[in-house]
Amino acid sequence: LICLCLHPGAGQDVGRSCILVSIAGKNVMLDCGMHMGYNDDRRFPDFSYITQNGRLTDFLDCVIISHFHLDHCGALPYFSEMVGYDGPIYMTHPTKAICPILLEDYRKITVDKKGETNFFTSQMIKDCMKKVVAVHLHQTVQVDEELEIKAYYAGHVLGAAMFQIKVGCESVVYTGDYNMTPDRHLGAAWIDKCRPDLLISESTYATTIRDSKRCRERDFLKKVHETVERGGKVLIPVFALGRAQELCILLETFWERMNLKAPIYFSTGLTEKANHYYKLFITWTNQKIRKTFVQRNMFEFKHIKAFDRAFADNPGPMVVFATPGMLHAGQSLQIFRKWAGNEKNMVIMPGYCVQGTVGHKILSGQRKLEMEGRQILEVKMQVEYMSFSAHADAKGIMQLIRQAEPRNVLLVHGEAKKMEFLKQKIEQEFHVNCYMPANGETTTIFTNPSIPVDISLGLLKRETAIGLLPDAKKPKLMHGTLIMKDNSFRLVSPEQALKELGLAEHQLRFTCRVHIQDPRKEHETVLRVYNHLKGVLKDYSVQHLPDGSITVESILIQATAHSEDQGTKVLLVSWTYQDEELGSYLTSLLKKGLPQSTA
């Protein structure tokens, strides 16, 4: 079982997942993420390390995407439409529905900003999505005759899944990003006791014990409320899907409870589709949402309305969700410019911002920003950062290991130092090996696969006929010939094996010469030997054959006179390997000489 992280950069960077697993001769790529911090080749994993092994489509048996975040699926259209992978891709139904929205959203932003040409097109995203096979939770999907995969609920975001990959009796579980505590709209990750040979777990928050998400949410609501109360405007830059829906639910319920009147707008045309999917995949959300669904759909917002560009200039308080999320182009940046000068207003950044973007600058505290045309924009509005990301913390990771009971653990997607701490903890508590390879580093894990063998009915019958009746509790030793053919193993009787394989039988005999001092005639010596053996080996059938030789079971003894010394007789002893023990005993017996009395 071999595992290789293909995330670019030689360290153990956070983000942009892409892992290659070789299990019992099958090659599977787990996630195909991109890094948004770069705008050149570095944003995609370096697939040339895979193409060294021949054509991608031939080499890889399948690609599995754990969830729709771009650091897990952003390079997929590039991989399938530009690098040339043409094989199957698996993801859950919600991921398949939502993934293209995010990819399209990001493509638009990228192309808008840079006028880039070396990026995938809408058509490529569509063609890529057409190759995707959607899977249900807990459904065993047969990729080919040997390889099967199965998805488990992972929390984190809508449609996120952990995947079990199984070939024969070897298996790997890949967690993707997961969350062991339920949140406002999603449940907790869960897996059965599948005892995989390897569990590949993300470890973003490997040592952090996070303050509860509830606290962060309360904090968020408080800040929005205060700003609106004093007549300010709140800008929340988001990407089209994911965090946005989560915050919408939060604000919607809060507005309802507090009976607030300030308008909330959502600026992209995508909201309808996004909400549509949240409604469609209601079974993927948590119990509470599912229960209340009958009375009222959480995603049918009463207070949140579509935004029009002209609204930005309206007087009075309001809350606006606008894309893109890093304030680097488009509508969110335009609104930001309008509102930045007023200290009553607030911008809340709910996620990671790439260096160079306005989002990154204001988060690092810069308040005088150079805009295009050397204009200086003075930021007087309040800037808040709120993290709502839902990853498992150290406790959660341990909990998952306890659930799945893996034989080995491999940590990815985390910082080296933090992972080291967790690694020790895991090894101590569970007594399993824990690996934390650097990107580009191959980890080889040896498994002890138990290989099923078919036994021919004939052999079984024969064995039971000889021995006692089979007892389920007692292991029984069986003899037979093992035939390995066409990837299967069969135990058959030697005769059957010979017949099947068209082989002729050969007898293997051991021979040995024993010299005996005896001046008598040869046939007399033989007689002496016969009598001696008959006396010693009472339980065996010792025979004196007419041709002058002696047999004991399969052992044959013949006597000749020594060519030079007539007083010495040479006994030629030969036996088959089945009677190896008896043969050795007999020779040692004869070597001691014949007893005098028998004469």
Partner 1 sequence: MTRECALLLPGVCAALADPRQPGSDDTCLEKLLDWFRSMTEFDPSVSLVQDNPCLTEFITSILALPEPSPSILSFTLRLAGILASSENRFQHLQQEKLLVRLFGADGPLSSTVWEDASVRSGWVEGVHSMMHHQPALHFLCNSGGIDVIFALQGDPSLFVASSASQLLVHMLIFSVESETTKPFGAKDFDWPVCARMIIKRIEDSLQSSSASQVEQSLKLLTSLFSSCHSRWTEVLWLGMAKQIESFLTDETVQAQRVLANLLLNMAWSPVFCDSEGGLWALVTSALEHLTPVQVGPLAVGILRLYKCPQDVRIQALTVLLQPMDCILRAASQPLEYAGLLDESVSDPATVESLLSSKSSCASLLCQTLAHLEELLSLVYLRVDLPYTSLLRSLMTILQFCNGFLSPASPLGSTISRILINCFRVQSSALDVLAALSERKGCDTLIGSLFDVLLAYLESPNTTPTVLKKTFQATSKWLVRLHELSCSTSQWQQTEKILADVFLVLQKRLCSPCWEVRDSSLEFLTVLIKCLRDQDEFRQSLLSSEVPRLTENLLEDPESYVRASAVTAVGHLAFITFFAPELPVIGNQYNKENTVAKLQEILSKDPEGFPRRAVISMFTKWLRQGCTGRMEDTERFVSRVIQTVEHDLDWEVRLGGLELVEVFCSQTICQLGLPGCSSVPVLSAVTSSIHQNRSLQIFCRAKLFSFLFRSLCDCDKPVGQRACDILFALRGNFYPTGTPRDSQETGELPAGHGIAWLQRTLRQGSLAQNFPTAGGDGVDFEDPESMMLALGTIDLEELHDELNRSSDHVEKSPQSLLQDILATVGTIEENEADCY
The residues that are catalytic are 202
Q: What DSSP state is assigned to residue 470? A: P
Residue 138: exposure state from Cβ atoms within 10 A (0-12, 13-18, ≥19) = exposed
Q: Closest separation between CB of residue 27 and partner 1, Å?
A: 11
Site string for partner 1, 272-291 (x = CB under 8 A): xx------------------
Pick from 86, 429, 454, 580: which binds partner 1 (CB under 8 A)? Answer: 86
Cα(149)–Cα(161) distance, integer angstroms: 12
Pick from 23, 28, 31, 69: which binds partner 1 (CB under 8 A)? Answer: 69
Contacts with partner 1 in 391-420 (CB under 8 A)? Answer: 391, 416
Q: Which part of the chain contacts partner 1 (CB under 8 A), choosing from 178-186, 251-259, 327-335, 459-467?
A: 327-335
| β 233-237/318-322 pair status | parallel
Pick from 21, 31, 35, 587: which binds partner 1 (CB under 8 A)? Answer: 35
Of the pair 211, 539, the CB lying nearest partner 1 is at 211
DSSP per-residue codes, 336-347: HHHHTT-TT-EE
Write the CB contacts of 289 (distance below 8 Å, at least 6 apart in sequence): 185, 282, 298
Pick from 122, 496, 549, 551: which binds partner 1 (CB under 8 A)? Answer: 122
DSSP per-residue codes, 85-125: --S-EEEEHHHHHHHHHHHHHHHHHHHHHH--SSS--HHHH
Neighbours of 521 (CB within 10 A): 13
What beta strand segments (E) does 178-272 contain? Answer: 198-202, 233-237, 264-266
Q: What DSSP state is assigned to residue 311? A: G
Cα(301)–Cα(264) distance, integer angstroms: 10
Of the pair 122, 433, the CB lying nearest partner 1 is at 122
Q: Closest separation between CB of residue 457 and partner 1, Å?
A: 24
159 near partner 1, rule: CB under 8 A? no
Contacts with partner 1 in 492-521 (CB under 8 A)? Answer: none
Write the CB contacts of 411 (distance below 8 Å, at least 6 apart in sequence): 201, 202, 203, 206, 419, 422, 423, 434, 435, 436
Residue of 435, 446, 396 whose CA lies nearest to 412? 435
Q: Closest separation between CB of residue 178 and partner 1, Å?
A: 14
Q: Reading across the β-sheet that carries 542-544, which strands appear in turn?
A: 509-517, 568-576, 555-561, 550-552, 542-544
Of the pair 303, 360, the CB lying nearest partner 1 is at 360
Contacts with partner 1 in 352-371 (CB under 8 A)? Answer: 352-357, 360-361, 363-366, 370-371
Q: Closest separation between CB of residue 211 and partner 1, Å?
A: 12
Pick from 117, 193, 211, 310: which binds partner 1 (CB under 8 A)? Answer: 310
Amino acid at 509: R
Pick from 175, 201, 345, 439: which binds partner 1 (CB under 8 A)? Answer: 439
Q: Closest separation between CB of residue 440 and partner 1, Å?
A: 4
Tokens matching residue 138: 């807990």
Of the pair 415, 553, the CB lying nearest partner 1 is at 415
Pick from 87, 282, 544, 549: which binds partner 1 (CB under 8 A)? Answer: 87
598 near partner 1, rule: CB under 8 A? no
Rounded to 5 degrees, φ, ψ at 496 are -65, -40
Contacts with partner 1 in 217-256 (CB under 8 A)? Answer: 239, 242-243
Q: Closest separation between CB of residue 369 and partner 1, Å?
A: 8
Of the pair 12, 456, the CB lying nearest partner 1 is at 12
293 near partner 1, rule: CB under 8 A? no
Q: Closest separation between CB of residue 353 and partner 1, Å?
A: 7
Cα(95)–Cα(72) distance, integer angstroms: 11
Pick from 269, 467, 470, 548: which binds partner 1 (CB under 8 A)? Answer: 269
Pick from 82, 83, 108, 253: which binds partner 1 (CB under 8 A)? Answer: 108
300 near partner 1, rule: CB under 8 A? no
Residues that contact partner 1, how many (by CB under 8 A): 94
Tokens matching residue 535: 């006396």
CB 322 within 8 A of CB 235: yes
Q: Closest separation between CB of residue 308 and partner 1, Å?
A: 8
At how many degrees (to 10) do helices 213-229 and 243-258 cross? 60
Neighbours of 24 (CB within 10 A): 16
SS3 state of residue 412? strand
449 near partner 1, rule: CB under 8 A? no
Pick from 82, 83, 104, 462: which binds partner 1 (CB under 8 A)? Answer: 104
Cα(7)–Cα(125) distance, integer angstroms: 22
C-alpha 32, offset from chain centre: 13
Looking up tokens 């995969």 gives: 149
Tokens matching residue 467: 């021995």
55 near partner 1, rule: CB under 8 A? yes
182 near partner 1, rule: CB under 8 A? no
Pick from 66, 179, 389, 587: which binds partner 1 (CB under 8 A)? Answer: 389
Cα(196)–Cα(589) distance, integer angstroms: 56
Of the pair 37, 182, the CB lying nearest partner 1 is at 37
318 near partner 1, rule: CB under 8 A? no
> What is the helix (H) or strand (E) element at residue 260, kind and residue range?
none
Q: Closest separation between CB of residue 69 and partner 1, Å?
A: 5
Q: Closest separation between CB of residue 23 and partner 1, Å?
A: 15
Cis bond upstream, residue 470 (ω within 30): no
Of the pair 355, 424, the CB lying nearest partner 1 is at 355
Site string for partner 1, 555-574 (x = CB under 8 A): --------------------
Q: Closest separation between CB of residue 7 and partner 1, Å?
A: 10
593 near partner 1, rule: CB under 8 A? no
Write the CB contacts of 104 (distance below 8 Å, at least 6 apart in sequence): 122, 125
Of the pair 22, 204, the CB lying nearest partner 1 is at 204
